[in-house]
């Protein structure tokens, strides 16, 4: 199993960084892939899926599995080149912005060949993608470009506020009970 970790400091509010990390349009730009199924534009939300088409017609589908705005979300692979794949996105407010911490855990398909591919190619390839993706998020979050990805996304905002409200209500009931 591969474990790949990354940390990026962004001089922008945590809400902006969290939502940019959910932007299908921004992720497509970073991955050089096209969203062809599920959520194909805008922001992806809890429980939703996206199907990507990459080079050579390679396809994979992922789902937003866990969701704690604006601190954390997890995406998992439902189909594609990995036997198992999960990407945990952690966000923490800092005095001068936001810390984005990523952890990817994956196991390649293809048995022993997958193990060799993990060691020789996949680790570097995934780490390079993660670095590129986070540099892109940082660049956009710290400029005025973020408006291009986040303005006009009220549906996801409502999901975030409902989720936050439900979590707060559950906590209140636990303490009151």
| CATH (domain of 164) | 3.30.530.20
What is the pLDDT at residue 115? 65
**Into how many domains does the chain fold?**
1
State yes or no: pLDDT of 120 exceeds 90: no
Taking residues 105-129, report their average pLDDT. 78
Considering only CA atoms, which of 76, 91, 120 is closest in space to residue 8?
A: 91
What is the pLDDT at residue 164? 47
What is the pLDDT at residue 88? 98
Residue 132: domain span: 2-176
What is the pLDDT at residue 54? 82
- Lowest mean pLDDT, pick from 74-78, 101-105, 125-129, 171-175: 171-175
Non-local (6+) Cβ contacts of 97 within 8 A are 9, 10, 11, 12, 13
The pTM of this model reads 0.84
Taking residues 23-31, report their average pLDDT. 94
């Amino acid at each position: 199993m591969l474990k790949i970790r990354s940390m990026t400091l962004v001089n922008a509010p945590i809400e902006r960084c969290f939502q940019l990390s959910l932007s299908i349009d921004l992720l497509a730009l970073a991955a050089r892939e096209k969203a062809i199924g599920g959520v194909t534009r805008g922001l992806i939300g809890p429980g939703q899926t996206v199907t990507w088409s990459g080079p050579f017609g390679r396809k994979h589908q992922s789902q937003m599995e866990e969701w704690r705005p604006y601190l954390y979300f997890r995406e998992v692979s439902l189909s594609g080149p990995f036997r198992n794949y999960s990407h945990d996105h952690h966000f923490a407010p800092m005095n001068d912005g936001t810390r984005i911490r990523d952890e990817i855990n994956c196991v390649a398909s293809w048995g022993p060949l997958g193990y060799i591919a993990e060691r020789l190619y996949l680790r570097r390839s995934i780490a390079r993608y993660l670095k590129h993706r986070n540099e892109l998020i940082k660049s956009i979050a710290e400029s005025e470009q973020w408006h291009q990805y986040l303005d006009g996304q009220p549906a996801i905002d409502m999901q975030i506020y409902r989720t936050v409200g439900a979590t707060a209500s559950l906590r209140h009931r636990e303490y009151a009970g």
